[in-house]
């Protein structure tokens, strides 16, 4: 992770603005902070906000995974027969910039200037890559961010149904700014969460999705059918990404499986769909 970037500052300011405008304007106008509904909604919304902030901080501060200098692919390992090769030449994947062999699913990030294990993408809003060790934190952050935006939007709409006094009319500018921020943000986060849910169901990264599209086209031209080698079934894919304990799937805690240097595939001779490695 690098230094604090302008994108991170924008996200931080947006979180602060949405929280305080929701509690002290929308919620206060609709229910009043001292009423029972006001207290309950304040506690619930604050809990969602805390989970959102915690998952964001953890995703931003967690190293997504580095390739050890000593890593070398073992082509004679019968337990892991799948080795990724270059699309041209058929050689094992080697990063000339890092001067290291690339483990399966790893890619070089030109912004971080190093290879990242199970790289999904580089997120400018976190100033960090999203990879093997922090993908779950990133996913959980998007979930709570969407919940917070929808929750805030509902409270905003509710507050607009209440007749305001002359002294409260200055809050209309807060309502307008909140609406202009929450509506597009909720739509964008909804699309983003849907996209990464789809990827998680198939145990793919964003990079692997686009590589798979190209591989599928090449396979169809040759009369073959392309199959993503890391797709173990929906449930196994979920526990591979979110962890084996379903009760902790939406908790910003570390539960990723393995070192990130090797991954189970549908072709492993000892792989089953009821066990994890």
Token pair for 264: 């189970």
Give the number of other Cβ atoms within 10 Å of residue 26's Cβ. Answer: 27
The residue length of the chain stands at: 277
With contact defined as beta carbons under 8 Å apart, do 181 and 22 qualify? no
With contact defined as beta carbons under 8 Å apart, do 146 and 193 qualify? yes
Catalytic residues: 123
Give the number of other Cβ atoms within 10 Å of residue 107's Cβ. Answer: 22
* 177 φψ region: left (φ > 0), alpha (ψ -120 to 50), beta (else): alpha
With contact defined as beta carbons under 8 Å apart, do 215 and 229 qualify? no
With contact defined as beta carbons under 8 Å apart, do 152 and 18 qualify? yes
Integer Cα distance of 177 and 54 in angstroms: 25
Integer Cα distance of 153 and 21 in angstroms: 11
Integer Cα distance of 84 and 103 in angstroms: 8
């Amino acid at each position: 992770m690098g230094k604090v970037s302008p994108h991170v500052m924008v996200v931080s300011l947006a979180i602060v603005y949405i929280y305080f405008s929701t509690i002290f304007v929308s919620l206060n106008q609709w229910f009043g902070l001292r009423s029972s509904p006001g207290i309950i909604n304040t506690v619930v919304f604050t809990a969602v906000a805390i989970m959102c902030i915690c998952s964001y901080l953890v995703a931003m501060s967690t190293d997504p995974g580095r390739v050890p200098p000593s890593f070398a692919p073992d082509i004679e390992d019968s337990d892991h027969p799948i080795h990724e090769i270059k699309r041209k030449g058929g050689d094992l994947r080697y990063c000339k910039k890092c001067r290291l062999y690339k483990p399966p699913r790893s890619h070089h990030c030109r912004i971080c200037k190093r290879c990242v294990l199970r790289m999904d993408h580089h997120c400018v809003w976190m100033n960090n890559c999203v990879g093997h060790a922090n993908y779950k934190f990133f996913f959980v952050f998007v979930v709570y961010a969407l919940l917070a935006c929808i929750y805030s939007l509902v409270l905003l709409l509710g507050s607009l149904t209440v007749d305001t006094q002359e002294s409260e009319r200055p809050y209309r500018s807060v309502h307008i700014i909140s609406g202009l921020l929450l509506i597009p943000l909720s739509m964008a986060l909804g699309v983003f969460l849907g996209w990464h849910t789809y990827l998680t169901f198939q145990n793919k990264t964003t990079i692997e999705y686009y590589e798979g599209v190209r591989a599928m086209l090449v396979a169809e031209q040759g009369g073959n059918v392309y199959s993503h080698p890391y797709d173990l079934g929906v449930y196994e894919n979920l526990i591979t990404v979110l962890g084996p304990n379903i009760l902790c799937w939406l908790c910003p805690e570390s539960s990723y499986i393995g070192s990130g240097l090797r991954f189970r595939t549908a072709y492993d001779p000892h792989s089953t769909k009821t066990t994890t490695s």
